[in-house]
Structure 1
Amino acid sequence: MKRYEALAADVAASIESGTLKPGDKLPSVRALRASRKASPATVFEAYALLEARGLIESRPRSGYYVARPARAMPAEPLPHPAPDGEPRTVQVADMIYGILQAAASHEVVPLGSAFPSPFLFPLQRLGRALAASATRMDPWSTVESLTPGHLELRRQIALRYLLDGVRADPDDIIVTNGAMEALNLSLAATCKPGDAVIVESPCFYACLQALERFGLRAVEVATDPRTGIDLDAMEAAIQRHKPSAAWVMTNFQNPLGSSMDEGKKRALVELVTRHRLPLIEDDVYGELYFGDRRPAATKAFDTEGWVLHCSSFSKTLAPGYRVGWVSAGRFTRAVAQQKLAASLATAVPVQMALARYLARGGYERHLRALRATMRTQRDRYAEAIGLAFPGGTRVSRPGGGYFLWVELPQGADAMALGRKAMDAGISLAPGPMFSPSGGFAHCVRINGGHPMTPRIEEALQLIGRSAAV
């Protein structure tokens, strides 16, 4: 047994015996380090292991506490009726912009936000890495790191792929200004105005914004709240509409939280390869898994280069740094040309800072703690919604990420509920934001990426009362 496992076992025994009770604060890292003569890393590893088991929970800027017993959870959402599958011109930008602008203030309770709490990330360590990189930057790196990105960062990203069983060449990776640029460049490299693109139903609203921007038509394909996009329906849509690309989130889909198993991912890659259809894989939440190992990306099964795998560090390590990437397979040159025309390059100092941080270790330890926190918050939010919302409400239980898809009783008006919430200083993401056809009118997406506080509990109770009216 490793030292951190032994320490975790001792704390777990104290919880099971009743010596430590639900809600009790655990010894600080400093106190436990002194009493057990252990390194800070050992204590953090032990606490992360206990969090992953659901025995304790972390509260940012407060410490670690014994977790409360889990309450009965609300039922999970049912599959929605299949969309009609007709290609649609997308017109959602005004609605989405208005909702997001109203929620931009940090004074607003961020239940509709797309971002987790910034206090969950090692911003001070990243800041030191940024300062060191900027002062030691080779002037030639401003030229050498242009369109494809800083070589050392691309090498570190390739190593992350290798850990997940994916062979990736740094030369096939293009660093971008966040995952959104990676996804937009992938669309631009594979589609032309007027083309059809397969999307999930519901899908991430930024996907719809991108389609509208490029003058593309959306073909909605039914997506199960647990298992992801319906492959039979997708193949029928491919045969009928001859789309130029498909945009899919296979891990912890936003907004549903659904994930495909490995067999279904293999089948998806076989499907797009057979039809020679570019698959734009949005995988920004893949590292935020709650199980024993990272779920595979479809890129792991791509032998002919039809998958354009897009991700970023914004949701896992460095919010605000806006560093993402795409491993574009056979479309690498086309994506690089689009990058050159769109923004030329991504800021070199932040790329160097992230490469420095990744090379020095600590990322995995940070991710373990972050995953444990997100898992605890998922359960606390689901419990709170189950208590506060009207009977018949269903809540997703994703295996990773930080979004909860909430299906209100039929007849509820999510858009009206969002307006009432905003009047009270609370943001929500109504279901119609996630559909080019305006569907999911009785659903909302709730961001569980912020630690549960009395203010958030009160906000959920207010929304629940409004939804019951």
Structure 2
Amino acid sequence: MTIPDSQKNEYLYERIAAELEQQIQSGLLLRADKMPSIRNICTDYKVSMSTALQAYYRLESKGLIRPVSKSGYYVSYVKKFPALPSQSSPSYLMGKEDNSSLVSKVYDGISSDHMMLSLGCPSAELLPVAKLNKSTVQAIHHFRESGTGYEHIQGNTKLRRQIAKRSYVWGGRLEEDDVLTTAGCSSAMTHCLMALTKHGDSIVVESPVYFGILQLAKSFGLNVIELPSDPRTGIDLDALKAILKKGNIKLCLLISNFSNPMGGTMPVEHKKETVRLMEFYNIPLLENDMYGDLYFGTQRPVNCKAFDQSGLVLLCSSVSKTLAPGYRVGWLTPGRFAEEIRRIKFATSISSNALSQEAVAGFLEKDRYENHLRKLRTTLQANSLHYMDAIMKYFPEGTKVSQPPGGFMLWVELAPKVNTALLYEQAIKKKISIAPGKMFTLQDQYNHCMRLSYGHVWNKEVEQAIKTLGKLAG
């Protein structure tokens, strides 16, 4: 079996691993089946033993196969997933619930000696800390004034160039002048909302939605309309069409890839149609794509921005979920609203952090980022399988769990009798932190749901924490 010429630019071991993974997940290779020998892989794919071993190491790191001494590799993956959570069904009325105290309680409870399954960022053990340190030192030595001076309002030129180059992966074809850097993705969304909305305006979001978006919208006095969302395909497109037709919508804010917290990813056709709707009604789309690089398949999903011809799609992202949460390096594409948003940035922050931007730019420039992402994606996919397996094993029967094809969030739906805000109180006493479902809405819903982060190194302590949660939920 020869790898096609069109795929020569990809790592051979990744192609082999992907093909074998497909056979495992489709059921052609079942649990306890013996995998082809390394020698057979070399012969079938016409590759070296080193390449064949790399492919198997990749499958092993994902928890799909396991080595048996003096015998070879065997399938360890079980093709059995929990049921998916229900499609959400929020009211179209503006939510009046106040979840601020619950959000504050959960995040005030952050502690280094707790199992923080509530945190929306990968643990430091999964990040290239030593290489980031090296990149920061190099930035200090080579950057003008050692990074103590103000950066240009548009942001670090090298960083913007790297972001523009990476956009070609998803068909963005950005230029460096299309990009404005910010102090993280939240800062990017803040600039956009300040420039495009005013107190009393109505915006559309999917439901459930990242609580930071809800808190931000409330702080600006915006009316938030939550729309139904599917755990696989994201926002309900028919509901979006219906609400836009009614009028009086100022802006749409969507997480198109691996939404937080449910994990849905809008199909390509949905993204195209969403952009068409925005253009038809002349409504800006604020697209949050912080998780797009954390895909588990063979190709990064595209953004809505890829289909934007009118400058109405404002893409926001950062390295906070993939590389360095504390560096606060983010960016946005302001499109036709560039002047307004630049003025907002200047008025609120004057400049982004010069040193951290230069450090991240250097990291991206030397291809360290893509190497890191390959390892991180592999680990996160393995973690998602470990979590789902543990939840099925330890949680009450009937528990439903999302199955995101990327990112690091699981949306868990328990029996209606369970109150996850109370479950949080019980869990935190055992030094386990979760994110109750109530945090992700301004309506009276999701009281029996929770978000769990699998952005940790999988070990016995994590498994024990999930086991404890399962007992508490029972």
TM-score > 0.5, shorter chain as reference:
yes
Do the aligned residues in 1 keep the contact of 2:125 with 2:457 (CA within 8 Å)?
no
Q: Which amino acid counterpart does residue 70 of structure 1 have in structure 2?
A: V
The residue that corresponds to 1:413 in the other structure is 419
The residue that corresponds to 2:369 in the other structure is 363
Structure 2 CA distance, aligned partners of 1:358 and 1:332? 25
- Cα 1:50–1:456, aligned 2, differ >3 Å: closer, same or farther? closer
- Cα 1:308–1:45, aligned 2, differ >3 Å: closer, same or farther? farther
Identify the match of residue 351 of structure 1 among 351, 357, 365. 357
Structure 2 CA distance, aligned partners of 1:90 and 1:185? 25
Q: Which amino acid counterpart does residue 103 of structure 2 have in structure 1?
A: I
| TM-score, structure 2 normalization | 0.86
Identify the match of residue 186 of structure 1 among 172, 183, 192. 192
Q: Which amino acid counterpart does residue 102 of structure 2 have in structure 1?
A: M
Q: CA deviation at 1:95?
A: 2.1
1:364 match: secondary structure: helix
- Cα 1:186–1:47, aligned 2, differ >3 Å: closer, same or farther? farther
1:135 equivalent to 2:141? Answer yes
Q: CA deviation at 1:366?
A: 1.5
1:216 equivalent to 2:227? Answer no
Q: CA deviation at 1:117?
A: 1.3
Q: Which aligned pairs between 1:19-168 and structure 2 lie closer than 5 A?
A: 46=55, 49-50=58-59, 55=64, 68-70=76-78, 72-80=80-88, 82-89=89-96, 91-102=98-109, 104-139=110-145, 145-168=151-174
Q: CA deviation at 1:70?
A: 2.4
Do the aligned residues in 1 keep the contact of 2:62 with 2:382 (CA within 8 Å)?
no
- Cα 1:400–1:44, aligned 2, differ >3 Å: closer, same or farther? farther
1:311 match: secondary structure: strand
Structure 2 CA distance, aligned partners of 1:221 and 1:269? 17
Q: CA deviation at 1:50?
A: 3.3
| Cα-to-partner distance string for 1:284-331 (whole Å, 9 max, x where unaligned) | 000000111000000000000111100111111222111010012111
Do the aligned residues in 1 keep the contact of 2:62 with 2:379 (CA within 8 Å)?
no
The residue that corresponds to 1:391 in the other structure is 397
Instruction: Calculate the aligned-residue CA RMSD, in Å.
Output: 2.9
Q: CA deviation at 1:49?
A: 4.4
1:377 equivalent to 2:420? Answer no
Q: Which amino acid counterpart does residue 69 of structure 1 have in structure 2?
A: Y
The residue that corresponds to 1:16 in the other structure is 35
Structure 1 CA distance, aligned partners of 2:140 and 2:438? 44
Structure 2 CA distance, aligned partners of 1:135 and 1:354? 15
Structure 2 residue runs of 5 or longer lacking an equivalent are 21-32, 39-47, 67-72
1:334 equivalent to 2:343? Answer no
Do the aligned residues in 2 keep the contact of 1:51 with 1:373 (CA within 8 Å)?
no
Do the aligned residues in 1 keep the contact of 2:63 with 2:76 (CA within 8 Å)?
no
Q: Which aligned pairs between 1:250-265 and structure 2 lie closer than 5 A?
A: 250-265=256-271
Do the aligned residues in 1 keep the contact of 2:13 with 2:54 (CA within 8 Å)?
no
- Cα 1:294–1:44, aligned 2, differ >3 Å: closer, same or farther? farther
Structure 1 CA distance, aligned partners of 2:84 and 2:257? 18
Do the aligned residues in 1 keep the contact of 2:150 with 2:351 (CA within 8 Å)?
no
1:285 equivalent to 2:294? Answer no
The residue that corresponds to 2:235 in the other structure is 229
Structure 1 CA distance, aligned partners of 2:74 and 2:186? 38
Structure 1 residue runs of 5 or longer lacking an equivalent are 20-35, 58-64
1:316 equivalent to 2:322? Answer yes
- Cα 1:465–1:292, aligned 2, differ >3 Å: closer, same or farther? same
| TM-score, structure 1 normalization | 0.87
Alignment length (residue pairs): 441
Q: Which amino acid counterpart does residue 79 of structure 1 have in structure 2?
A: Q
2:315 match: secondary structure: strand
Identify the match of residue 209 of structure 2 among 196, 203, 211. 203
Do the aligned residues in 1 keep the contact of 2:229 with 2:235 (CA within 8 Å)?
yes
Q: Which amino acid counterpart does residue 369 of structure 1 have in structure 2?
A: K
- Cα 1:107–1:292, aligned 2, differ >3 Å: closer, same or farther? same
Q: Which moved more, 1:178-187 or 1:228-237?
A: 228-237
Q: CA deviation at 1:442?
A: 0.9
Structure 1 CA distance, aligned partners of 2:104 and 2:52? 44
- Cα 1:388–1:54, aligned 2, differ >3 Å: closer, same or farther? closer
Structure 1 CA distance, aligned partners of 2:146 and 2:463? 52
Do the aligned residues in 1 keep the contact of 2:387 with 2:454 (CA within 8 Å)?
yes
Q: CA deviation at 1:395?
A: 0.6
Q: CA deviation at 1:87?
A: 2.3
Q: Which amino acid counterpart does residue 50 of structure 1 have in structure 2?
A: L
